[in-house]
Amino acid sequence: AVSSIHRQTTLMKLTEDETVNLLKDHLEKTGWHIGDKFCLGQKHGIDIEASKGKAIMLIEVKGARASDTAPTKRREHFDSGRIKSHFGKALVKMLHEKSLNPKAKLAIAHPNDEDIRKAIGHIIPFLKSLGIIHFWVSHKQVIED
């Protein structure tokens, strides 16, 4: 019984693709246009590029677990070290994007997940000073931090 409860909890953890799709839907409902400017799977590039009027927002999205089809899947969900590593890579990517697109809004999105909040939640408030928006994404809502 314990393993089935653990498996159910793990399945509730959002993959990167699930997080992209939920955030994309939220942004479109709030007036942002995305069209086909998003990446799913193991593709390289900006995960979501949204536009509203003349504003452009570039978003790097992370998940709480690997997708079931990911070639690099090792664990059922990401541990604290992997979460921090993914966050570090997202930060470097956003700073690089800032150098290429100084007028673009930049954002990082994570699932609204207890393990992710425990690992990096205390760091998220500092993103504002770097000019980076943060989104906490779940099936129920998207919170902009």
- 10-residue stretch averages of pLDDT, the chain, 145 residues long: 48 90 97 93 88 97 82 69 95 96 97 97 96 97 94
Q: Which two tokens stand for residue 53?
A: 């009027």
Q: Tokens 């939920």 belong to which residue?
A: 22
92-97 contacts at long range (C-beta below 8 A, 24 or more positions apart): 93/60, 94/58, 94/60, 94/130, 94/132, 95/130, 97/46, 97/58
Tell me what pLDDT residue 9 has: 54
| Whole-number Å distance between alpha carbons of 115 and 78 | 8
Residue in 16, 40, 44 with CA at minimum distance from that of residue 108: 16
DSSP track, 22-79: HHHHHHHHTT-B-TT-B--TT--S-SEEEEETTEEEEEEE--SB--TT-TT--SSS--
Tell me what pLDDT residue 78 has: 86
Tell me what pLDDT residue 74 has: 55
Tell me what pLDDT residue 17 has: 95
Tell me what pLDDT residue 6 has: 46
Tell me what pLDDT residue 12 has: 82
| Whole-number Å distance between alpha carbons of 139 and 127 | 24
Tell me what pLDDT residue 2 has: 45
Tell me what pLDDT residue 66 has: 83
Tell me what pLDDT residue 32 has: 98
